[in-house]
Chains A and B, each alone.
Chain A
Amino acid sequence: MRLLGDDEPSDAALLVAVALGDAAACHRFVDRHASAVLGVATRVCRDRSLAEDIAQRAFEQAWRHAASFDADRASARTWLLVITRRLAIDELRRRRPTPMAPDAMGTLLAPAGADTERAGLAAAERSTVAAALGELPEAQRRAVVLAALGGYSASEVAEIEGVPLGTAKTRIRLGMRRLRAALAGEVDRG
């Protein structure tokens, strides 16, 4: 038996302590995930100051909902990043009445590298997602990246890509299904 703080606890252990209101656990949870959370917020908002505000709100929401986290559904990091994206998109859509030119498209998804080794995802899972993304047809990959990482709606993707709304939806849907299937295959093999 050991006290929280004796060594590096798992995300689940930290969230359990966060749910009970442990400030030290909250601090360690933030330390562990802040760079990834800020990365998602910055990528969607493209505004460093706003991204820091979004990141702070994401952790606050995670804190309030810690007891609602379900370890059977997703990793703590996945849960937190989805919350962050949700908040960033809400803020972006509130501030951005019309679609922006996707000039940051080329940098929306940097190759997974050494920095992501600290991520909560297993290396195999990261490489599976990256490989599956790279194997998508170009139109699907662009649609998925714009919608998932850029936070664009299907209507905005359609406008950016110059295609009908239905086509944009189909590209997003098929691309995400392929990614999901690739991840499911990884789990099955694991």
Chain B
Amino acid sequence: MADDVVPVGAPDCDEVRDSVELLALDALEPAERARLMAHVDGCSSCRAELDGAEASLGALLALGPEAEVPAGFADRVVAATVATPAEPGVTASVGLAARARPTSRRWFTLAVAGVVAAVLVTALGVAMGRVFSSDGQVAGPPVTASTDARSAALVRADGASAGSVVVDDVTGTLFMVVDAVVAGVPYDCVVRSASGELVRVGSWTTTSGGSATWTVALDPALGSVDQVLLVGPGDTTLATAQLT
């Protein structure tokens, strides 16, 4: 097909892959781009091709000269960004140059609250039938918990909330709800045992960003856990929950 001719109708994978570099560079006319992207949005293999082309573009962009940063720039950016709600509710990975997608912070808060509530209901002795697995999906054997559940907010160093933790001492199960995780990045759950020792009890890497709920079966030898830490790459402590 001649490149000057813009085809009509739904494209197939071959047509998309033939233009994937032009898509990555956003070098096509809007109508043609929209027609091809309609296919990409529903085709994981073409999405992967586009991600690869965008990664090459990023490498090319990084070659260029840097620019002098004006004084106070970082302060201005941070002041503006902290006033802008983050979008932790996205649960599916998006392309490299993801466009802004408005999400209600309140909706997200309620969603997290719902997850925590479900965990608490389980911990209060209602057989939920399933537990949340490490990738945030529901799976696993039935669980019947007790009334001996303790919960606490997962708090960052600046005092803001990053999620919640529930520990069911009878079943020896720890539930950690994290408001926003980054896909492909390893997270660890570390607990302080009754003897005061810090013990790594779980490690996860999610395949999609957004909120995540993880469960950990605690070793009875740990005794009563009174502190839970969310640890990120490089052993960086991201947030802490103090259980009482």
Contacts and interface: CB of A to CB of B under 8 A. Distances in A.
B74 to A, nearest CB: 4
B209 A69 contact: yes
B243 interface: no
Classify chain B's interface size: 35 or more
A56 B20 CA distance: 28
Interface of A: 1-5, 9-10, 12-13, 15-24, 26-27, 30-31, 34-36, 38-43, 51-52, 55-56, 59-61, 63-75, 77-79, 81-86, 89, 108-110, 112, 115-116, 118-121, 125-126, 129-130, 133, 144, 147-149, 152-155, 157, 164-167, 169-170, 172-173, 176-177, 179-180, 183
Interface of B: 2-4, 18-19, 21-22, 24-29, 51-70, 73-78, 80-82, 84-88, 90, 93-94, 96-100, 156-158, 160, 162, 178-185, 187, 190, 198, 208-210, 229, 231-239
B51 to A, nearest CB: 5
Contacts of B231: 1
Contacts, number: 306
Contacts of A180: 21, 52-53, 56
B55 A78 contact: yes
Contacts of A20: 156, 162, 178-180, 238-239
Contacts of B80: 56, 60
Contacts of B184: 70-73
A27 B187 contact: no
10 contacts: A4-B237, A19-B209, A22-B156, A38-B69, A40-B64, A63-B81, A64-B100, A129-B63, A148-B57, A154-B22
B57 A72 contact: no
Given A20-B239, A43-B64, 14 more contacts: A22-B158, A30-B73, A34-B69, A39-B65, A43-B65, A64-B86, A69-B209, A75-B58, A78-B55, A79-B96, A165-B4, A166-B3, A183-B56, A183-B59
